[in-house]
């Protein structure tokens, strides 16, 4: 009787191991399953978003990687009126200002990989993002930029990031028009796959 029970148990176990699962797997699930362990423990999504477009990309990356998120927030918020904001951003860029940010990542040493998100402002990163870069110890880390823009593209933002953190490795950026950010999840997925960041 005992032998029969063991035999039945063994057959059941065998069936369980060999039966394929037919659960629907979205592209995001797939990336999570493949890369989650290595990415989630050491990755951080850092972003600045004035009107919410770049936040949409950050959320896609969060869903695809399970990484934690950190928002760069300037102590003094930027004007909501577009022209005023552009005027201020232009002046800050010309003057090389590092605006004060309200919070820092205390345990930055525990992250190897930083997804860095920003809107393109005057052809480059907004100055609060520059503040984040110079006020954290990023030597030896990998930075993966992602951005949204109006129509000017990624422009010289990536080389500007590299200049601020010469000891970090800055990878290929992902960029999309701000109005298309919410529907860019598949494109984000393809970009992350292409980066092959585990190797
Ligand atoms: C101050 C300012 C400067 C901008 N400069 C540029 C630019 O140089 N090139 C561009 O394509 N878009 C530019 N834009 C448009 C933003 O990059 C675009 O709307 C972006 O999606 C906004 O992202 P957010 O919603 O995350 O803030 C600018 C917007 C602002 C407010």
What is residue 159's predicted lDDT score, i.e. its pLDDT?
98
How much is the average pLDDT of 127-146? 98
Instruction: Please provide residue 76's backbone torsions phi and psi, each rounded to the nearest 5 degrees.
Output: -100, 110
Provide the 3-class DSSP secondary structure of residue 140.
coil
Assigned domain for 83 exists: yes
**Range name among 20-34, 74-88, 154-168 with the lowest pLDDT average:** 20-34
What is residue 95's predicted lDDT score, i.e. its pLDDT?
98
Cα distances from 63 to residues 12, 27, 51, 66, in angstroms, run 35, 11, 20, 6
How much is the average pLDDT of 27-36? 50
Give residue 13 CA to ligand 1 midpoint distance, Å: 57
**Mean pLDDT, rounded, of the chain:** 86
How far is residue 92 CA from its own chain's centroid? 25
Assigned domain for 16 exists: no
Which residues lie closer than 8 Å to 105 by C-beta, 6 or more apart? Answer: 44, 46, 70, 111, 136
Assigned domain for 14 exists: no
What is residue 20's predicted lDDT score, i.e. its pLDDT?
30
Assigned domain for 131 exists: yes
Is 45's pLDDT higher than 50?
yes
Q: How confident is the model at residue 64 (pLDDT cuts 50, 70, 90)?
A: very high
Helical residues (DSSP H) of 26-180, grouped into ranges: 27-40, 53-65, 82-95, 127-134, 157-164
Q: Which two tokens stand for residue 60?
A: 């896609």
Assigned domain for 82 exists: yes
Assigned domain for 69 exists: yes
| pTM (2 d.p.) | 0.84
How much is the average pLDDT of 82-98? 98
Q: Which atom of ligand 1 is nearest to the CA of 90?
A: 1
Torsion-angle region of 113 (φ positive above 0: left; ψ -120 to 50: alpha; else: beta): beta
Cα distances from 94 to residues 36, 38, 42, 89, in angstroms, run 41, 40, 35, 9
Number of domains present in the structure of the chain: 1
What is residue 11's predicted lDDT score, i.e. its pLDDT?
46
Query: Is any atom of ligand 1 closer than 6 Å to the C-beta of 120?
Result: yes
Substitution site in 61, 150, 173 for ligand 1 pocket (most atoms within 8 Å of beta carbon): 150
Domain of residue 112 covers 26-195
Which of the two residues, 110 and 11, has the higher pLDDT score?
A: 110
Assigned domain for 42 exists: yes
CATH number of the CATH domain containing 79: 3.40.50.360
Substitution site in 49, 69, 120, 153 for ligand 1 pocket (most atoms within 8 Å of beta carbon): 120
Substitution site in 48, 149, 156, 182 for ligand 1 pocket (most atoms within 8 Å of beta carbon): 149
- Read off the pLDDT of residues 15-24 as tens digits, 9 standing for 90 and up: 443 333 222 3
Query: Is any atom of ligand 1 closer than 6 Å to the C-beta of 49?
Result: yes
What is residue 91's predicted lDDT score, i.e. its pLDDT?
98
Assigned domain for 11 exists: no
Cα distances from 141 to residues 40, 133, 158, in angstroms, run 15, 11, 15
Is 5's pLDDT higher than 80?
no
What is residue 198's predicted lDDT score, i.e. its pLDDT?
61
Nearest CA to ligand 1 atom 16: 149
Give residue 131 CA to ligand 1 midpoint distance, Å: 18
What is residue 13's predicted lDDT score, i.e. its pLDDT?
44
What is residue 197's predicted lDDT score, i.e. its pLDDT?
77
């Amino acid at each position: 009787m005992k032998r029969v029970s063991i035999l039945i148990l063994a057959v059941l176990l065998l069936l369980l191991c060999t039966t394929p699962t037919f659960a629907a797997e979205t592209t995001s699930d797939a990336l999570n399953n493949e890369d989650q362990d290595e990415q989630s423990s050491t990755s951080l999504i850092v972003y600045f978003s004035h009107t919410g477009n770049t936040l949409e990309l950050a959320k896609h990356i969060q869903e695809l990687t399970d990484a934690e998120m950190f928002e760069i927030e300037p102590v003094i918020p930027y004007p909501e009126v577009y022209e005023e904001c552009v005027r201020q951003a232009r002046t800050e860029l010309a003057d090389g200002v590092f605006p004060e940010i309200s919070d820092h990542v205390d345990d930055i040493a525990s992250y190897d990989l930083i997804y860095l998100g920003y809107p393109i402002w005057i052809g480059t990163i907004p100055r609060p993002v520059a503040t984040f870069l110079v006020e954290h110890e990023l030597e030896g880390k990998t930075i993966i930029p992602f951005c949204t823009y109006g129509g000017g593209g990624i422009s010289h933002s990536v080389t500007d990031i590299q200049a601020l953190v010469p000891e970090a490795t800055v990878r290929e950026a992902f960029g999309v028009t701000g109005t298309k950010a919410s529907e860019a999840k598949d494109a984000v997925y393809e970009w992350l796959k292409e980066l092959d960041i585990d190797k």
